[in-house]
Amino acid sequence: MTLVSNINTKDPQIFTVFKPYDGKYPCYRQPAILTTNVQRTNMIVFAEGRFVNNCAPALEDGLEKHISQNEDGGLEMRRSEDSGFTWLPAQTVYRGNIDFYTVVWDSTSNMVYLMLQVLSSVLVFTSTNEGMTWSDPIPLNVFPPSPFSKSIKPAVGHGIEIIGSLCEVRNCSDTGTLLMPFVCTNGSSHPGVNGSCPSCYACVLKSKMPIKNQKREWNFTGIAQQYTRESQLVQLIATNASTSHIYLNGRNFSPIPGHRYFARSTNGADEFTEFGIDSSLIEPVTKSWTGVVCSIERISTIPSRILFSGPSNATIRSNLTLRLSYDEAHSWPISRILYLGLSSYSDMTVLGNGDNIALVFENGQQTFADQISVAIVSVSWIEGKST
């Protein structure tokens, strides 16, 4: 499939990258997107292929009818080498009973790291050629400390690399560190009520910059508040600081769902010390599911812009909306609906010099996951400026 887009136009350009019954799978879910070169023109889009007849519940009287899901299938990917103007054919990264995954690009080694949940294990894949080929997977074999169990999951979406200049006065001491969002489980928690998950805690898998010629080592660090699950991370501008400041935005699985959780760290996600619920960030609570996987991404430093994507309907997975913050994710004064219709999980990356972003998201007419599309969106459109 060839996608054609003009990234210089004002209005977003939206194209399908994965569609059911395209020759491999009748269902695609849980997309992620990653930029893989310094110029930010090469991208990889991932999606989970499933062997099911229905990808998502259909709508009935405004509510979703629950249908059972089967994760058996495989992780698929497509690559673009020209900012989304064209896309290469789909490749299979792994076949099997998979679920959550997260990816990150290491600019110092040009290595892509992929963490993929396969049954009860997490496998680590690497690519040294921007996803053209992948290494044989190895088990992660790293776990959070007690009281958390060995039941860990990568969060859906992407991780981040610490940028030195965001410490403003001097470069961050943890420059080059990789952070991957995960889900940790407290085995001592009791079952929840109203679909809540008291055993769920968003957490961070961390890898400091390795010494020359050594391999990266991983360990679990910061733990967010109880009832958080899938999350994404963004680096904040840290005034008069020597270590990176990190913001975590997480799915709300509490007894009172419907708005996003957040946590903040002032020591590179070693620990989180500020926690809260952002009442301005709505996430849908439906008959079948609580919350949704959203995305967050820093798109510029001067001025500071942090972008959030997620459905803005409180009861249906629909109306995928972009919200822009100029004050390090404390408020979101800019809000624009990108897709007016059924839509769910999303992920984002910056393109080129930062004037455009690429966003991958689930959407459809019959269900929120009829297909997976990529939108090329200009920052000027998000801000409502003419071009």
The pLDDT-based confidence of 118 (bands split at 50, 70, 90) is very high
At residue 2, the pLDDT reads: 28
179 vs 190: CA distance, rounded Å: 29
303 vs 146: CA distance, rounded Å: 41
At residue 38, the pLDDT reads: 92
209 vs 309: CA distance, rounded Å: 29
Q: pLDDT tens digits, residue range 137-147?
A: 999 999 999 99
Q: pLDDT tens digits, residue range 45-64?
A: 999 999 987 788 776 444 44
- Span 243-271, average pLDDT: 97
At residue 287, the pLDDT reads: 87
Q: Find all residues with CB under 8 Å of 129, minimum gap 6, and list them.
A: none
pLDDT at residue 6 greater than cutoff 70: no
The pLDDT-based confidence of 191 (bands split at 50, 70, 90) is low
- Span 227-234, average pLDDT: 97
Q: Identify the residue with better confidence: 97 or 212.
A: 97
At residue 376, the pLDDT reads: 96
50 vs 369: CA distance, rounded Å: 12
Q: Identify the residue with better confidence: 377 or 3.
A: 377
Between β-strands 91-106 and 157-158, what pairing exists: parallel, antiparallel or unpaired?
parallel
Give one word for 96, left, alpha or beta, with left for phi > 0 and alpha for psi -120 to 50. left
Q: Identify the residue with better confidence: 96 or 21.
A: 96
At residue 190, the pLDDT reads: 67
pLDDT at residue 371 greater than cutoff 90: yes
Lowest-pLDDT range of 49-63, 95-109, 357-371: 49-63
In the block, tokens 């004050």 appear at 327
- Tell me the three-class secondary structure of the chain, residue by residue: CCCCCCCCCCCCEEEEEECCCCCCCCEEEEEEEEECCCCCCCEEEEEEEECCCCCCCCEECCEECCCCCCCEEEEEEEEECCCCCCCCCCEEEEEEEEEEEEEEEECCCCEEEEEEEECCEEEEEEECCCCCCCCCCEECCCCCCCCECCCCEECCEECEECCHHHHCCCCCCCCCCEEEEEEEEECCCCCCCCCCCCCEEEEEEEECCCCCCCCCCCEEEEEEEECEEEEEEEEECCCCCCCCEEEEEEEECCCCCCEEEEEEECCCCCCCCEEEEEEEEECCECCCCECCCCEEEEEECCCCEEEEEEECCCCCCEEEEEEEECCCCCCCCEEEEEEEEEEEEEEEEEECCCCEEEEEEEEECCCCCCEEEEEEEEHHHHCCCCC
At residue 45, the pLDDT reads: 98
Global pTM reads 0.94
At residue 61, the pLDDT reads: 42
At residue 70, the pLDDT reads: 52
- Span 166-174, average pLDDT: 89
The mean predicted confidence, pLDDT, of the chain is: 91
Q: Find all residues with CB under 8 Å of 226, minimum gap 6, and list them.
A: 186, 189, 198, 200, 201, 254
Share of the chain above pLDDT 70, in %: 93
42 vs 36: CA distance, rounded Å: 6
- Span 105-121, average pLDDT: 96
Q: Identify the residue with better confidence: 67 or 257.
A: 257
pLDDT at residue 164 greater than cutoff 70: yes
The pLDDT-based confidence of 205 (bands split at 50, 70, 90) is very high
Identify the CA nearest to 126 among candidates 178, 48, 49: 178
The pLDDT-based confidence of 9 (bands split at 50, 70, 90) is very low
146 vs 235: CA distance, rounded Å: 27
Q: pLDDT tens digits, residue range 292-320?
A: 999 999 999 999 999 999 999 999 999 99
pLDDT at residue 4 greater than cutoff 60: no
The pLDDT-based confidence of 32 (bands split at 50, 70, 90) is very high
In the chain, what are the domains?
13-56+65-383 (2.120.10.10)
The pLDDT-based confidence of 212 (bands split at 50, 70, 90) is confident
351 vs 78: CA distance, rounded Å: 16
CB atoms within 10 A of CB 130: 19
At residue 281, the pLDDT reads: 98
C-beta of residue 228 within 8 angstroms of C-beta of residue 251: yes
